[in-house]
């Protein structure tokens, strides 16, 4: 079966919260992973053969040399999207927190708030590196409510081939989770000896090659990280793993800084975290204070259900914001809980409190339908 349905509790007609857990598995066999097609056209065809359309998301498997794809996309991106060193990345808002669940386990929970966007979830199998599950908002590939992604359209499906370098959040088989969040744009001063790295390409490199938060930080330190201009960064990078806990990378005055968790939990702040105490953050933002209180009040043992409950309490709907001079109406597009111990992701799409998708980052069975 491509998906399986588990009823977690008895339901009424509309169904209680999280009553349907839909397990989604990658539709790829081990033989293809062991010996992927060498020619690019055959390799792309093999990846496209794994595509599935679900009610409210798309899934697909990706394999190959992602570093080669990063290098190709980097050149395209530099030539098409950077001007005189100025630029602001797309808006990526939402509630985001990490919570330790044991000495060797923890969860990261995230509401992705933005304008309406369809979602693709992918399994990624790099030629050399860790497998991962990651999310790609299809708005980043040019789709919109007026021109939506059409699963029956062959050219639309082919556009997903770029997904490895368009991932904005995910978790790898070592339990390392990485999530992008918007911040006010900061100027950065490139170091001549360092290579420049687009922030989404950095997400892919971390998922492929970081086995811990420390290794993820070391990867980021190699680069001049930028958004839509070589001198600008407008994101923070939230990191976590099973043993290290969580940390946030932020840039101030051209320099990357690490903000480590100091207790059992850490909540990301949309206004920035570096050099601002938790108490100051809570006083400055009522929404942030509410989220901190909800996270702190979670009863033990902390579960994916209780974490989705916290996210549900702070979901957004039709919120007016202004980003990079543009008036926007944003809402919570999805809510996800990443379990670094079990290497599982529970996903609720568009505020659906009844149905939850379950993804395993490193399933024992890679599927047998192909």
With b meaning 16 or more CB within 10 Å and e meaning fewer, what string describes 43-57?
bbebbeebbbebeeb
Which are the contacts of 367, defined by CB distance < 8 A and separation ≥ 6?
25, 26, 27, 28, 29
Spans of all domains in the chain: 3-327+336-360
pLDDT in tens, 262-318: 889 999 998 899 999 999 999 999 999 999 999 999 988 899 999 999 999 999 998
User: What pLDDT sits at residue 2?
Assistant: 44
Judge contact between 180 and 167, C-beta under 8 A: no
Look at 48-57, 91-100, 220-229 and tell me which has the smallest mean pLDDT: 220-229
48, two tokens: 């496209």
CATH of domain 3-327+336-360: 3.60.60.10
Alpha-carbon distance 65 to 79, whole Å? Answer: 22
Neighbours of 254 (CB within 10 A): 14
* Mean pLDDT of the region 331-349: 96
For 79, the 3-state DSSP assignment is: helix
Phi and psi torsions of 212, nearest 5°: -150, 170
* pTM of the entire predicted model: 0.91
């Amino acid at each position: 079966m491509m998906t399986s349905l588990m009823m977690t509790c008895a339901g009424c007609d509309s169904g209680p919260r999280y009553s349907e857990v839909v397990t989604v598995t990658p539709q790829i066999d081990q033989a293809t992973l062991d010996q992927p097609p060498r020619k690019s056209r055959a390799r792309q065809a093999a990846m496209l053969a794994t595509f599935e359309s679900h009610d409210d998301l798309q899934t697909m498997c990706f394999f190959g040399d992602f570093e080669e794809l990063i290098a190709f996309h980097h050149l395209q991106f530099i030539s098409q999207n950077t001007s005189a060193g100025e630029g602001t990345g797309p808006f990526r808002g939402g509630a985001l927190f990490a919570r330790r669940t044991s000495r060797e386990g923890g969860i990261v929970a995230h509401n992705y708030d933005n304008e309406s966007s369809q979602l693709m979830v992918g399994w990624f199998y790099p030629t050399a590196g860790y497998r991962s599950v990651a999310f790609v908002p299809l708005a980043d590939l040019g789709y919109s409510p007026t021109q939506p992604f059409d699963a029956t359209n062959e050219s639309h499906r082919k556009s997903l081939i770029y997904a490895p370098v368009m991932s904005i959040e995910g978790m790898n088989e070592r339990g390392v989770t990485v999530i992008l969040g918007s911040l006010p744009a900061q100027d950065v001063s490139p170091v001549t000896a360092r290579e420049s790295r687009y922030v989404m390409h950095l997400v892919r490199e971390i998922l492929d090659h970081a086995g811990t938060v420390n290794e993820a930080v070391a990867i980021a330190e190699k680069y001049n990280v930028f958004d839509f201009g070589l001198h600008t960064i407008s994101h923070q990078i939230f990191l976590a793993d099973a043993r290290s806990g969580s940390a946030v990378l932020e840039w101030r005055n051209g320099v990357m800084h690490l903000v480590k968790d100091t207790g059992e939990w850490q909540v990301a702040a949309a206004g920035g975290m570096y050099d601002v105490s938790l108490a100051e953050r809570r006083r400055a933002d009522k929404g942030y204070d509410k989220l901190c209180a909800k996270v702190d009040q979670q009863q033990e043992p902390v579960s994916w259900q209780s974490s989705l409950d916290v996210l549900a309490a702070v979901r957004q709907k039709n919120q007016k914001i202004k980003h990079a001079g543009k008036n926007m109406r944003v809402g919570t597009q999805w809510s996800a809980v990443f379990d670094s111990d079990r290497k599982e992701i529970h996903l609720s799409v568009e505020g659906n409190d009844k149905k939850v998708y379950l993804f395993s980052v490193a399933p024992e069975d890679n599927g047998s339908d192909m």
